Amino acid sequence: MKLKGIYPIVPTPFLSTGEVDLVGIDKLARFMVERGVHGLAVLGALGEGHKLGESERAEVIRRFRAAVPERLGLVVGIRAAATDLAVRMGQQASELGADALLLGPHGVQNDKALLVYYERVSDAVGLPVIIHDYPAVTGITMSPELIATIFKRCGNVQYIKLEDPPTGPKMDAIWALTGRELEVFGALGGLYAFEELDRGAVGIMTGFAYPELLVELYERYCSGDAEGAAELFYDILPLNRFEFQPGIGVSLRKKVLVKRGVFRSAHVRHPGPEADAKTLEHLFRIVDHLRNRGYEILDPQ
């Protein structure tokens, strides 16, 4: 399956008791599909994948696969401190129907160790692999040279989710070494979505509770309406910025999804922080501003 377009990184819904909300997964998948996304990415950093046990991960992947139409891609986030564990997690995701892995690095800042990690997981699982380049979260910085070596040595590594700003120059540096064969997904909350598409990204893979806006941005750009895409992007950028706040971003997006009638609870597993009432007031002020400008981002009546 060729991956391209808008792939939201989705949060995992929990009940107020902290248990995984399986009904919430069904509603979230349906909500995203109805808004025209091209696939979903689950159990990434926004999905609190590191807070789930092995059986919970399997349950979440299985439920999303059942809820997401086969024509849409399902990307499963994988990251582990040990290479053998990452292999097992990847094999589990493959067995449960994942179309690709979003593979974050282990925690050792060593190029040889990182290369072996990507080689072993890529070879053992056999699915397309997306390198997750997000040093702010992983603590690992991967140079364009290392990324190019991983791509050339690992036959299943086909994409990168690039979240190491400035993203545009790094895209160009990687492509200078790979001949543009390593395909790039923009990310970072969509903060640079227009510029990344304009440089040649195949899509945007990020958390955003108003995915229809990113879908419209992508469709305008792909139809040749770069000016219209830019205009939309400049309008929605304050919302991207506010949702993407470090620490409370997971909570903000869950609270938006509660307001939009998708989640029953905005529970974030401890020690994740909760967004306060004043922060939410500021967020929804931006949403109201966009509605007043004619954007149809409606909540249940």
Cβ atoms 147, 153 nearer than 8 A: no
Neighbouring CB atoms inside 10 A of 91's CB total: 15
Exposed, middle or buried, 54 (CB in 10 Å: 0-12/13-18/19+)?
A: exposed
Residue 301: predicted pLDDT: 57
pLDDT averaged over every residue in the chain: 97
Please give the share of the chain, as a percent, with pLDDT higher than 90: 97
Neighbouring CB atoms inside 10 A of 169's CB total: 11
Cβ atoms 37, 7 nearer than 8 A: yes
Binned at pLDDT 50, 70 and 90, residue 90 comes out as very high
Exposed, middle or buried, 210 (CB in 10 Å: 0-12/13-18/19+)?
A: buried
pLDDT per position as a tens digit, 189-230: 999 999 999 999 999 999 999 999 999 999 999 999 999 999
Region 128-145: mean pLDDT is 97
Exposed, middle or buried, 161 (CB in 10 Å: 0-12/13-18/19+)?
A: buried
Binned at pLDDT 50, 70 and 90, residue 41 comes out as very high
Distance CA 108, CA 88 (A): 19
Three-state secondary structure call for residue 71: coil
pLDDT per position as a tens digit, 225-264: 999 999 999 999 999 999 999 999 999 999 999 999 999 9
Binned at pLDDT 50, 70 and 90, residue 11 comes out as very high
Binned at pLDDT 50, 70 and 90, residue 300 comes out as confident
Residues whose CB is less than 8 angstroms from the CB of residue 24 and which lie 6 or more positions away in sequence, other chains included: 13, 14, 15, 262, 263, 264, 265
Q: To 10 degrees, what angle do helices 226-243 and 277-292 make?
A: 160
Distance CA 120, CA 250 (A): 31
Residue 1: predicted pLDDT: 87
Please name every residue paired with 135 in a beta bridge, in sequence order, or none if there are none. none
Phi, psi of 102 (to 5 degrees): -100, 100
Best CATH choice for the domain 5-241 from the list 3.40.50.620, 2.40.110.10, 3.20.20.70, 3.30.2310.20 = 3.20.20.70
